[in-house]
Structure formats: C-alpha cells, structure tokens
Amino acid sequence: MHASDATNGAAPLEHVRLVLEVEIPSDVQYIEQIVDLVKGQVEALRYAPRQVALNVPVALSEAISNAILRGNNENIAKLVRVRSSADPSCLIVEVTDEGKGFDLELCTPDPTTPENLSREDGRGLFLMRKLMDRVERFGEAGNVIRMTLHRQ
C-alpha cells in the first residue's frame, strides 16, 4: 500500500520540506507579501496558531526591515534575499542583505527597562530573539541573519 492510500488522497506533510527563496528590491512595501508567503509555509505544516499569527510574521518582518533599512540603506538597487525552509519539526529562515553586517550584541539593549520603555526604537532584534528559538548572524560580511523556530 502506498502512503497516500491511507489518507484518502491527501498525502500527509510529515516528510515534506517546503522551501522558498525570494529576492526583493530594498523597499519596505514588499515585506508584507513575503511574510505572507512564509506564513503560508508554516500554516500548511500546521505550526501552532500563535507561531503562524505572531512569532513568524513579527520576527520575519523585523529581519527583512533591518536588511532593507540598515543593511541596504533603502537603496532600491540592492537586493534582500529571503530563504525559508520549513519542515514539520522546524522553520529556518535566512535573510541576506548587501550591507556590511552588524553586531547583534551591540544592537540589543533591553527595551523593557524603565529608561528604555518610552523609546520609539530598539525593539526589533529584541522581538526577533523573543519570538524565535535562535537568532544567528553569519556570512562573510556578517550580513546574513538566520532564525530558527521549532514547531509547537
């Protein structure tokens, strides 16, 4: 018997990896569409509703906007590449820009302290770290951010 026979035609996604690779110009108007595509991946693999509605969209939106605004200085000619690979156990998203990279540690003062709470900025990397299981920076120039989230 084939595996698909047992599920009335709808093959289970237990052994499936969904991979998406997108390149966008450095324009923040693209972010929402890319986020929707990656949301679709984790939704198809039945990640927890909160991961689909909160963790993935917010963390990815932060990573792409950092790449566009900081990495590429909103230079429309420079590209941001998003590579997202999701399987039933975890999601790994890499966001690459054409910038010189930045030091994650230096960029993450705690925005929840009383003196920082009323600041308008400084929550991006904090949220990525809170909403993802792991956030790493690598690449020759440190211009790649990789985020990992385990399915719940």
Partner 1 sequence: MSFAIKKQGEVVVVDVEGQLIVGNRQELKQKVLDELERGEKKFLIDFSQTGYIDSSGLGVLVSLSKKIREQGGELRLANLNDDLKTLFELTKLDTLFQIADTRERALESF
Binding site for partner 1 (CB under 8 A): 28-29, 31-32, 50, 53-54, 57-58, 61-62, 65, 69, 111-112, 117-124, 126-127, 130-131
Which residue number, 122 or 139, has a Cβ lying nearer to partner 1?
Answer: 122
Task: State the nearest-atom distance from the C-beta of 36 to partner 1, in Å.
Answer: 10
Which residue number, 19 or 48, has a Cβ lying nearer to partner 1?
Answer: 48
Least Cα distance to 64 among 100, 103, 104, 93 occurs for 93
SS3 151: coil
Task: State the nearest-atom distance from the C-beta of 39 to partner 1, in Å.
Answer: 9
Which residue number, 17 or 134, has a Cβ lying nearer to partner 1?
Answer: 134
Scored b (16 or more CB within 10 A) or e, 30-58 reads bbeebbeebbebbbebebeeebbeebbbb
Q: Sheet containing 18-25: give its strands across.
A: 18-25, 79-86, 90-96, 144-150, 134-138
Task: State the nearest-atom distance from the C-beta of 17 to partner 1, in Å.
Answer: 25
Which residue number, 17 or 46, has a Cβ lying nearer to partner 1?
Answer: 46
Q: Phi first, then psi: what are they for 48, rounded to 5°? A: -60, 145
Task: State the nearest-atom distance from the C-beta of 46 to partner 1, in Å.
Answer: 17
- Residue type, position 151, single letter: R
Which residue number, 131 or 145, has a Cβ lying nearer to partner 1?
Answer: 131
Task: State the nearest-atom distance from the C-beta of 26 to partner 1, in Å.
Answer: 12
